[in-house]
Amino acid sequence: MLSAAQSHNCYDQINETSLVSLKRSLYQLAIDYATIRSRWSLMNREQRNEIDPQRTIAHNAFIDSVNILSRNMVKQGEDNSWREMLGDDRKMIGDFACYVALFLALEAR
C-alpha cells in the first residue's frame, strides 16, 4: 500500500519536472479518475455496473500518463525515481491518483 508520505514524495518529484504539459495532463487525469472513484462508494450495484467501463478507461488513461511522463523525464535527464517507488500495481497507482487530487485540492485553498 502506498502511504500518503510516499505519495507526496512522488508528487513533489513530479512537480519538479520541466515537462509542464505532461504534468498538467497527469494531474487532470488524476482528478478525473479520483472523481469517479470517490463517487463509487455512494453508488448501488446497477450504477456501478453502468459506470465501471468509464472508471476503467479513466484508470488506464491515468496509468498511461504516469508512464508517458516518466519516460519523457528520463529523456530530459530528470529524476524519475518516483516511478519506481510507485510500482506497477494498478491499485497503488489508482491510490496515487486519489492522493494527487487531494494534494491539488489542498493547495488550492
Region 48-77: mean pLDDT is 98
User: Is 1 a residue whose pLDDT tops 90?
Assistant: no
Handedness of CA 58, 36, 99, 20 (dihedral sign): positive
Task: Give the residue-averaged pLDDT of 36-56.
Answer: 96
Q: Across residues 82-87, what is the average pLDDT? A: 96
User: Can you give the pLDDT at residue 28?
Assistant: 98
Q: How far is CA 30 from CA 75, 94, 108, in A?
A: 23, 8, 15
Q: With 0.85 as the threshold, say if the pTM is over it.
A: yes
Is 50 in a helix, a strand, or coil? Answer: helix
Work out the mean pLDDT of the chain and round it to a whole number.
97
